[in-house]
Structure 1
């Protein structure tokens, strides 16, 4: 892993940073590299309310915000909320969102931006914010542009895009990743329980999660193509 000056992670929801890139983030922090998370929304339209239930439609935004703050403290990263509404990012003007993000990137001056790969990120919010984040970097002065790592999570990503440029085995940092995931109490149990397999009922939660989340892969965005 190259030594970066400052890493900015741009995803739309609380928990995207933990499920998607917590191992990579932890590696950077171990190197002393500052990391800032620009989180698009509070995930207020999500259906998971905890197991047992700890939230409802009225309380979930504030609860998810607190969970996000706790996860960011565990990962030792700075947090900036972009203030958009969950499940509406695809309807925002891409250029307006890009200019918003660009203004923040010009202040933070990162050497690396991590975001979702547009059209290969499953959720419309993921695709939309990934597209805006990449556009924000494209609009920057070419001499000041950070590198962009785009995370593709569709089942056809390898087939459509080829092998990722960067793949990190984050097992050495997986305890930190699991702690960050589990800080998102409304989301963690529901999502992780979906990983369980009937034919391997003796697997521990950590083993199940490690198999699914133990590698973090990224494509380096080519602004010249």
Structure 2
């Protein structure tokens, strides 16, 4: 059983779409989970139609949505304070040292992050690389689960070695995703009203969100 799990991802909603089921499973076992969220997602594209936000108000909205999601998932939240869409331009070692200091305080047994170069968004790739570097620098390294979802990643990386069936936590995951209302509506479409859908559509949704896959990162030394 894990001692403490730390999730390191760059945006509000990354935790809900990518790992909410696994987080819920850990919490059901009484294992503490802490989310180190990189940014406030202030450069998110969805401003609504009609417009509900602007560049000044969107980060406030997304921060509250993130707090709501973390409440649903019953996990602690720590904001890292980086700016959306700029992590790739930050000094990777500085971010790694920042993360290392936090990890050494928490002493997690497991870190969940993005797989560098296989996580689509530059922020995903950059923060994932910094998180892995942070763990590499530690004297006592936690296990790292890295999540990849770039098109065709399995052809290059093979099959993930951690495949979590989180279908038992489907509703919890959906509730967390729906906390991110400003962004999630455009991503999940009609599933926003998943409780009102027919059984066939609901089953498709469970298949879509019912598995979370990760690679266990292999350090060279």
TM-score range, shorter chain: over 0.9
Matching residue of 1:156: 152
**Structure 1 residue matching 2:124: 3-state secondary structure:** helix
**Structure 2 residue matching 1:160: 3-state secondary structure:** helix
Residue 75 to residue 160, structure 1, CA distance change in 2 (3 Å): same
Residue 88 to residue 4, structure 1, CA distance change in 2 (3 Å): same
Give the TM-score normalised by the residue count of structure 1: 0.91
Matching residue of 2:173: 177
Matching residue of 1:89: 87
Tell me if the contact between 2:65 and 2:181 (Cα under 8 Å) persists in the aligned partners.
Answer: yes
- Structure 2, unaligned runs of 5 or more: none
Pick the aligned partner of 1:76 from 31, 53, 74. 74
CA RMSD of aligned residues (A): 2.0
Residue 83 to residue 183, structure 1, CA distance change in 2 (3 Å): same
Following the alignment from structure 1 to structure 2, what is the Cα–Cα distance between the partners of residues 52 and 175? Answer: 29
Pick the aligned partner of 1:54 from 38, 52, 55. 52
**Structure 2 residue matching 1:80: 3-state secondary structure:** strand
Tell me if the contact between 1:13 and 1:40 (Cα under 8 Å) persists in the aligned partners.
Answer: yes
Matching residue of 2:184: 188
Following the alignment from structure 1 to structure 2, what is the Cα–Cα distance between the partners of residues 195 and 158? Answer: 27
Following the alignment from structure 2 to structure 1, what is the Cα–Cα distance between the partners of residues 146 and 177? Answer: 21
Following the alignment from structure 1 to structure 2, what is the Cα–Cα distance between the partners of residues 114 and 57? Answer: 29
Count of matched residue positions in the alignment of Structure 1 and Structure 2: 217
**Structure 1 residue matching 2:81: 3-state secondary structure:** coil
The correspondence of residues 17-56 of structure 1 with structure 2, limited to 5 A, is: 17-50=15-48, 53-56=51-54
Residue 76 to residue 139, structure 1, CA distance change in 2 (3 Å): same
**Structure 2 residue matching 1:113: 3-state secondary structure:** strand
Following the alignment from structure 1 to structure 2, what is the Cα–Cα distance between the partners of residues 158 and 136? Answer: 25
- Structure 1, unaligned runs of 5 or more: none
Tell me if the contact between 1:169 and 1:216 (Cα under 8 Å) persists in the aligned partners.
Answer: yes
1:55 shift after superposition: 2.0
Residue 51 to residue 27, structure 1, CA distance change in 2 (3 Å): farther
Residue 159 to residue 195, structure 1, CA distance change in 2 (3 Å): farther
Matching residue of 1:117: 115
Q: Does 1:212 align with 2:185?
A: no
Tell me if the contact between 2:144 and 2:216 (Cα under 8 Å) persists in the aligned partners.
Answer: yes
Following the alignment from structure 2 to structure 1, what is the Cα–Cα distance between the partners of residues 26 and 171? Answer: 16
Following the alignment from structure 2 to structure 1, what is the Cα–Cα distance between the partners of residues 52 and 136? Answer: 41
Give the TM-score normalised by the residue count of structure 2: 0.93
